[in-house]
Amino acid sequence: MSLYKRREKFEGFSMRLGRGFARLGLSPNHWTLLSIVFVAAAFWFLAKEQFLLAGGLFLVSVFLDIVDGAVARATGKATRRGAYLDTIMDRYVEGVIVFGLLFAALPRFIYPAYIWIFLYLFGALMTTYAKAAAKEKRLIEKELKGGLLERAERVLMLCGGIVLAFFNPFYLTSVIVILAIMTNISAIERIAIAWGMGKHSE
């Protein structure tokens, strides 16, 4: 089951988290933008193949992505512009890390690592675009969700792979291969869902 389906179970924790971080005085948008600072540092250490530091900083960036929404809900400051900024920053955070992977000397698995990195990035982009295009073309009324792998699962798997690379870089290559396959399956699933919904709207 995707993590987004379990979000209601964490509402209480999210509110407590939001109220706690709201005391620091930063707005939800400030927390969103702060995640870029940490992912930029993660990129630097990833390119230097200091995987443990890179993974830790990436995890902080992912955590701040949770904090911004929690603060917005806890303070009643959730806005459409804030949600838009959060979505855009999500793409930047993932993209920066994927770009950093190209600078690390990762072992090959059947094909060179950069092939799998490209396939992973393509699958992630198509998973997101399948949702946006379905909404733009009015095939669906509500936001398209679902698929084998959501963004939350993607970034957590990637973060885990980066940390494991501290012990053996082949672990990271293996995670990237799995992500390359699963993200493209997710994209195909979403396209099929949107196509099916569109048939009933014509």
Domain extent, residue 96, equals 3-201
- Token duo for residue 127: 């998973």
The continuous run of DSSP H or E covering 36 comes out as helix 28-47
pTM: 0.82
- Token duo for residue 89: 């920053």
Q: Provide the domain count of the chain.
A: 1
Contact 95, 36 (CB under 8 A): no
- Token duo for residue 196: 């099916």
Q: What are phi and psi of 143, to 5 degrees?
A: -65, 135
Contact 46, 161 (CB under 8 A): no
Under DSSP, the state recorded for 202 is -
Count CA within 13 A, CB hemisphere, residue 8.
1
Under DSSP, the state recorded for 78 is -
Query: pLDDT digit of tens for each residue in the chain (202 aa)?
Result: 455 455 555 666 666 766 776 777 777 788 888 888 999 999 999 999 999 999 999 999 888 888 777 777 877 777 788 888 888 888 888 999 999 999 988 999 999 999 999 999 999 988 888 888 777 777 776 777 766 778 888 889 999 999 999 999 999 999 999 999 999 999 898 888 887 765 655 5
Provide the CATH number for the domain around residue 115: 1.20.120.1760
- Residue 136, judged by CB atoms within 10 A of its CB (0-12, 13-18, 19+), counts as exposed
How does pLDDT run across 41-76, given as a tens digit for each residue?
999 999 999 999 999 999 998 888 887 777 778 777
